[in-house]
Structure 1
Amino acid sequence: MKKSTILKAVAASLLVSCSNPKETAEPVHPENFYVVEKFADLQILRYKVPEFENLSLQQKELVYFLTEAALSGRDILFDQNGKYNLRIRRALEAIYTNPNEDKNSENFKNLTVYLKRVWFANGIHHHYGMEKFEPKFSAEYFKEALARVEEGKLPLAEGETIDEFYNLLKPVIFDPAVMPKRVNQADGQDLILTSACNYYDGVTQTEAEEFYNKMKDPKDAEPISYGLNSRLVKEDDKLVEKTWKVGGLYTESLEKIVFWLEKAATVAENEDQKAVIDKLIKFYQTGDLRDFNDYSIQWVKDLDSRVDFVNGFTETYGDPLGLKASWESLVNFKDLEATRRTETISANAQWFEDNSPVDKQFKKEEVKGVSAKVITAAILAGDLYPATAIGINLPNANWIRSHYGSKSVTIGNITDAYNKAAHGNGFNEEFVYSNVELDLIDRYADMTDDLHTDIHECLGHGSGKVMPGKEDALKAYGSTIEEARADLFGLYYLGDNKLVELGLVPNNDAYLAAYYNYMMNGLMTQLVRIELGNTVEEAHMRNRQLIAQWAYQKGKADKVVELVKKEGKTYVVVNDYEKLRGLFGELLAEIQRIRSTGDFEAARTMVETYAVNVDPELHKEILDRYAKLNLAPYKGFVNPVYEAVKDENGNITDVKVSYEEDYDTQMLRYSKDYSFLPSINK
């Protein structure tokens, strides 16, 4: 179940100005430090790493080594997202860097945009919508360009000719019917056979579900996360797991990760942190998910270190069954000043649990180990790069959370980058109903969005309890229900006077901005991320539409929320914020019941009724209005660059951080310096 959230990232990404969209990639050179480049439906930003220079030399070294470990796993996600992704990326890069190519041809310009999208999505499918990219360059050009590449620079298999290579990739790239979706969530279909992700090979959904269900022991109080770190394949008519570990699948990258983790262990801040790193190394070496549990528990216990990190097979969105985890990494250190806010929230975790509208039988009698902090991201990698979450709550295993607690973080400098880049783009003026709501948003939205993220991560994911044996009962609907649960927990408490008492908001009007933004986004504006005629498939988007549509429909009789026309345009109007809060509480109680009891049919009905379908007329209107603003609906980041300064003996004397690297340069450098996996991973 995904515990990281892109809640505010979704809203913020719709608020960043950019140049007029064109088919060719267009560098942007504004005065705004944060804006780098715009292409297709994407905009590239950069973020600062404030206070890095004030870390101790030991902490800087630790960040540097952990950063190298993070970047060393880059190829893993490409391969997880699709079996041909590494070969396609490397072929495109060979063409892009070929000095003999005509850089002014339309085909080359369009191939450039396609490559940039592949870099961004870590594969040939959209990172959010999951649909396969449509190339604007011709298949004939691709074939001819491959033939012009210098010998030895294409990712050919042994004995494979360029023609054979082209014939293999042609339908994968150019035929819209081949591997059309990376993750398919359509009800009633075989979600594995219709998904292009590389977590299964020759296996049906029924076979995979039966395989893992047989492994599970409902009486096991400390279960492993079955299937988390493996590819399930059929060999000689038998199902076999190919484990991702040193000596197993992905060993080339994992060996490099372990190399840098071992260096990081030598400069750990304390023994607890060193134990975390050592246990992660052991897990990578054994592939044993019991070792992963040990690592997760030790990671939760490490509360005194300022530098922290995530590195590994973590989140399960990329698997349509929600079992297998994509590889990701985030290196960070605590923002001491901003953390005071999250510490206040976590210190009152028991009060929030006790006073939630959830049925008592589904509440935790004792909330344990809820730690929360605001962090500064030092590097983003894997499934957190270039697009990233702005909050994380881990570990995912419910029993570990119940017994040992969890860590909740808000990534402050990423949120700040979104906010700083979003100036004067006209988005709110186009979609917000009146000056009353605009004023509320101007005064309170940044504050309440941060708080919603904090409560979502610190408390929402850690709230409630799941009945024994029901952890994975919701199957493909689990991610949407879990995110809805955390969002609703945050929404419900944003309107509670307790936040005023704790000094987290200045008055009882602040939450109105968050409620309005949430309903506007869930009912209307997030539709700019979906092509006309498509349904909602991504779990976070489904979550937001589920909440907004359910509240809208349930409150219709009292006109709690309305969709009204003004000058021919549709707007959201919230007439009764107090009743809306009551509806959020009512839905939270039901969503928690579904999650706690593993009520699959109720989850299915809830999601399919409220979260999937789109009003085509409203959708077209929103897309038309948004197109006139010339904005990019998706945002991602280039990373800063770290340089180790060494003396004549090779000892590190300082670590410098710089921000000048552009998108193309960074991606090509990463492909050169961190491309460890073979092009074909069997």
Structure 2
Amino acid sequence: MEKIKTATLAIAIAASSLASPAMADDFDYVVDRFADIQVLRYKVPDFESLSLRQKMLVYHLTEAALAGRDILWDQNNRYNLSLRHLLENIYSNYDGDRNSDDYKAFETYLKQVWFANGNHHHYSMDKFVPAFSRDFMEKQIAALPDDKRPADKDQLLRYIFDPAFMPKKVNQVAGEDLILTSAVNLYDGVTQAEVEQYYASRKDSTDLTPVMHGLNTRVVKDSDGKIVEQTYKIGGVYSEAISRIVDQLEKARQYAENPVQASVIDKLIAYYRSGDLKDFDEYSILWVGDTDSRVDFINGFIESYDDPLGMTGSWESIVNFKNLEASHRTEAISSDAQWFEDHSPVDPRFRKDKVQGVTAKVITAAILAGDSYPATPIGINLPNSNWIRASHGSKSVTIENITQAYDAASHGNGFNEEFVPDTATRALIDKYLFITDNLHTDLHECLGHASGRLLPGVDPDALKAHGSTLEEARADLFALYYLADPKLVELGLLDNPDAYKAQYYHYLLNGLMTQLMRIEPGKDVEEAHMRNRKLISEWVLDHGKEANVASLDKINGKTVLTVNDYEALRRLFGELLGEVQRIKSEGDYEAGETLVEKYAVKVDPQLHKEILDRYSNLSIAPYKGFVNPRYEVVRDDAGNPVDVTVTYTEQYPEQMLRYSRQYSTL
């Protein structure tokens, strides 16, 4: 995510960050708890210190962010918007016993659907199984006013209750048609082979500045059976929502901090009007070049994790502003980007001769939207276009007010006592995990994703369905390798050369064991980030077995992780980084598939059961997400804005229902 400068400036920042800044906080972070989810809220520190112009810019950008909500719901599945309307109508009109088992189960289901932006779990990708009866649902539909009853009732009931109908949001099972077996609404009437052939025919291997094909389109067959792309733009797919986004972007532009930022907004508007991916590339180049503005944002079709082929971007937005104090940390990393690239343990053929335009900062999130809400990343590195990154650079951010909220909500949950039996390791984790987590995110986003290069002629999509997993592994490995480097102590980002061990232990523990709490019994690992962590952890455990670098042992009947040689572990991270970078640089699909299928997918059922049993005694929610703060413009008697206020009182159902009232566009 971010980068580093030189010693003295960063020392004070790092030292003050070693302990969690949220520890002494009396802010009420926890909002709700249901199923496997805990909903939190986050603070927006220093918002009051922004100028009125900056506050108004943030306000209209947040309105643009919220205006795109329905797009993601529809991308996730073609029935999701109808399902949301039905569930919310029942919830708002219910006049029965709210303590009945059916109603309580219904309320939990509704909260799950809200959280996932649809009927499939946001992480496991499995369809939710309602614990209320079909008879209960049919009675509630019948009790609705005539204008609230869905026209597609039978299909919605099938979508809710038939486990065989659209069971998986994104299917990644090798050997199956990933399009036909995925429930996302990105394709219609086409097979995986047809889509791959279609895009192969459109790509030009000699084009040095290729667009990201399929990023903003739905692929369908027309009435003549011809494959066509339907573009997301004004006048195209999602026109109503995009028009409202553009309206708010135009209002935000009036408050741009400088001409460069204004040009970024102008080009994004032009792209939303044209749908032309060349416009998107031009916007991305301008956005990367805007390094002086304090307020920043992403808004558009960006990450492709929810496309089974890894091409179409899910709609998302995050509005943020720079955390001036904490950004000294990331600026220190980014200023030495070339040093990190030159000393990377990968074949020199795959390194960048010159790292271009890598910038990084710590940000304060002001709003989360689309695919970043309620669950959100803690770091971002964009743009995703390989040639833009190579020629113009990239921006990386660590969202520290989000990591602070996670940290504050986790205190006293008993996790370390249960899974880290060694007291010395536990003490190291207590002292250094917060800062090493943030540094890992900094290095992952800022340097990891920005490192390396494709060999000439290699298709950026050559790794196909495994591309996301391997790219996340590449960035994680880069971060892990350098987290133990003396350079970080030299730069003043860590005050103890052993601090990295907290992250190493915690990372392996998560990849080998504790992330299994997020998997249902009998299921494989399917989400790209989880596969990435499992791949790395299982690979180093396997390849370090002979030297006893790390092991899983039984103590008092419980499986525990033991790390015997941290220096050797670092060397293994470097070795695997070299291989993953080679796979990406050469487009070696077969080698990538072998790595993923061998180390990242299958779950040991006995270990899985043990982890689930141990977690059940801790009452820790496997997944966390957020409600947003609420912004309101204060105006004088003449209607002129004089301030923008931020409040944190809105509850989870209250916010979801308000968003549906105010931002339903499709």
TM-score norm. by structure 2 comes to 0.95
1:458 counterpart letter in structure 2: C
Deviations 1:281-312 (A, max 9, x none): 00000101010001000000000000000000
Separation in 2 of the partners of 1:292 and 1:155? 37
Q: Which whole-Å CA distance do the structure 1 matches of 2:85 and 2:638 have between them? A: 37
Q: Which moved more, 1:389-398 or 1:507-516?
A: 507-516
Aligned to 1:100: 95
Letter in 1 for 2:527: E
Query: How much has 1:141 moved relative to structure 2?
Result: 1.2
Residue matched to 1:75: 70
Q: CA deviation at 1:507?
A: 2.0
Name the counterpart of 2:475: 486
Higher deviation after alignment, 53-62 or 133-142: 133-142
Aligned partner (choices 571, 576, 587) of residue 587 of structure 1: 576
Equivalent position amino acid for 2:360 in 1: A
The equivalent position to 2:430 in structure 1, one of 416, 421, 442, is 442
- Offset at 1:452? 0.5
Assess if the C-alpha contact under 8 Å between 2:458 and 2:586 holds in 1.
Answer: no
Q: What is the aligned partner in structure 1 of residue 549 from structure 2?
A: 560
> Which whole-Å CA distance do the structure 2 matches of 1:99 and 1:138 have between them?
16
Q: Deviations over 1:24-52 (max 9, x none)?
A: xxxxxx97610111000000000000000
> Which amino acid counterpart does residue 271 of structure 1 have in structure 2?
P
Give the corresponding residue for 2:397.
409
Counterpart of 1:9 in structure 2 is none
State the alpha-carbon separation in 2 of the partners of residues 101 and 124 from structure 1: 24
The residue type paired with residue 528 of structure 1 is M
Does structure 2 retain, via aligned residues, the 8 Å contact 1:312–1:329? yes
What are the within-5 Å matches in structure 2 for residues 272-311 of structure 1?
Answer: 272-311=260-299
Query: CA offsets per residue over residues 186-207 of structure 1, 9 Å max, x none?
Result: 0000000000000000110000
Q: Distance in 1 between matches of 2:166 and 2:31?
A: 32
**Does the residue aligned with 1:311 lie in a helix, a strand or coil?**
strand
Pair 1:550-2:539 in alignment: yes
**Preserved CA contact (<8 Å) 1:32 1:421:** no
Matching of residues 424-463 of structure 1 within 5 Å: 424-463=412-451
The CA deviation at 1:388 is 0.2
The secondary structure found in structure 2 opposite 1:371 is: strand
Measured after TM superposition, the shift of residue 383 of structure 1 is 0.2
Matches of 2:263 and 2:543 in 1, distance apart? 51
Shift of the alpha carbon at 1:99? 4.4
Alignment of 1:664 with 2:653, yes or no, is: yes
Give the Cα–Cα distance (whole angstroms) in 1 for the partners of residues 465 and 616 of structure 2: 33
AA in 2 matched with 1:200? Y
Between stretches 141-150 and 600-609, larger displacement belongs to 141-150
* Aligned pairs for 1:211-222 within 5 A: 211-222=198-209
Q: Secondary structure at the match of 2:321?
A: strand
AA aligned opposite 2:353: E
Q: Which of 616, 621, 624 does residue 627 from structure 1 map onto?
A: 616
TM-score under structure 1 length normalisation:
0.93
Q: Deviations over 1:479-506 (max 9, x none)?
A: 0000000000000001111111111111
Aligned pair in 2 of structure 1 residues 155, 72: CA closer, same or farther (>3 Å)?
farther
* Whole-angstrom distance in 1 between the partners of 2:274 and 2:357: 28
Partner in structure 1 of residue 59 of structure 2: 64
Counterpart residue type for residue 449 of structure 1: D
SS of alignment partner, residue 656 of structure 2: helix
SS at 2:645 equivalent: strand
SS at match of 2:93: coil
Counterpart for residue 36 of structure 2 = 41
Residue identity matched to 1:221: L
Equivalence for 1:522: 511
Cα distance in 1 for partners of 2:109, 2:618 equals: 23
Residue pairs, 1:143-542, within 5 angstroms: 143-156=138-151, 165-236=152-223, 237-467=225-455, 468-542=457-531
Instruction: Give the AA of the match of 1:311.
Output: N
2:110 to 108, 115, 123: 115
Alignment of 1:622-661 (within 5 A): 622-661=611-650
Write the deviation string for residues 313-338 of structure 1: whole angstroms up to 9, x where unpaired. Answer: 00000100000000000000000000
- Structure 2 Cα separation of the partners of residues 116 and 661 of structure 1: 15
What does the per-residue CA deviation read over 1:545-566, in whole Å, with 9 as the maximum and x for residues that have no partner? 0000000000000110011111
What CA deviation, in whole Å up to 9, does each residue of 1:381-420 have, x standing for no partner?
Answer: 0000000000000000000000000000000100111111
Deviation at 1:56, TM superposition (A): 0.1
Structure 1 SS opposite 2:302: strand
CA 1:155–1:244 in structure 2 vs 1: closer, same or farther (change >3 Å)? Answer: farther
Amino acid at match of 2:219: L
Q: Output the CA distance in 2 between the equivalents of 1:193 and 1:166.
A: 24
Separation in 2, partners of 1:657, 1:611: 43
For the 8 Å contact 1:78–1:123, the answer to whether it is kept is: yes
| Greater CA drift, 166-175 or 508-517 | 166-175
- Structure 2 partner of 1:24: none
CA distance in 2, matches of 1:154, 1:233: 30
Q: Helix, strand or coil: the match of 2:105?
A: helix
Q: Which stretch of structure 1 is more off in the superposition, 605-614 or 102-111?
A: 102-111
Task: Give the gaps of 5 or more residues in structure 2.
Answer: 3-19
Report if the CA contact (8 A) 1:200-1:233 is conserved. Answer: yes
Is 2:125 aligned against 1:136?
no
Partner of 2:11: none
Alignment correspondent of 1:602: 591
Residue type of the partner of 1:403?
A: S
The alignment's C-alpha RMSD in Å is 1.3
CA drift at 1:436: 1.4
The superposition leaves residues 93-127 of structure 1 with CA deviations (integer Å, 9 ceiling, x where unpaired) of 00000043432322121111111100000000000
- Please give the alpha-carbon distance, in whole angstroms, between the structure 2 residues aligned to 1:233 and 1:492: 43
**CA distance in structure 2 between the partners assigned to 1:298 and 1:31 by the alignment:** 41
Contact persistence 1:101–1:145 (CA under 8 A): no
Q: Partners of 1:487 and 1:631 in 2: how far apart? A: 25
CA distance in 1, matches of 2:79, 2:184: 10
- 8 Å CA contact 1:100–1:148 kept in 2: the answer is no
SS of the residue corresponding to residue 315 of structure 1 reads: coil
Describe the shift of the 1:190–1:511 C-alpha distance in structure 2 as closer, same or farther (beyond 3 A): same
Distance 2:410 2:252 in 1: 36
Distance 1:249 1:149 in 2: 31
Distance 2:141 2:376 in 1: 33
- Whether the 8 Å contact between 2:357 and 2:392 is mirrored in structure 1 is yes
Q: Give the SS at the match of 2:312.
A: coil
Q: Is the 8 A contact 1:185 1:476 kept in 2?
A: yes
The sequence identity of aligned pairs, in percent, is 62
Distance of 1:441 and 1:284 partners within structure 2: 46
- Provide the rounded CA distance (Å) in 2 between the counterparts of 1:649 and 1:179: 54
3-state DSSP of counterpart to 2:465: helix
Query: Which whole-Å CA distance do the structure 1 matches of 2:625 and 2:407 have between them?
Result: 13
Output the amino acid matched with 1:381.
A
Determine the C-alpha separation between the residues in 1 that align with 2:534 and 2:372. Answer: 23
Q: Does the CA-based 8 Å contact 1:643-1:655 persist in structure 2? A: yes
2:83 pairs with one of 64, 84, 88: 88
SS of the residue 1:350 aligns to: helix
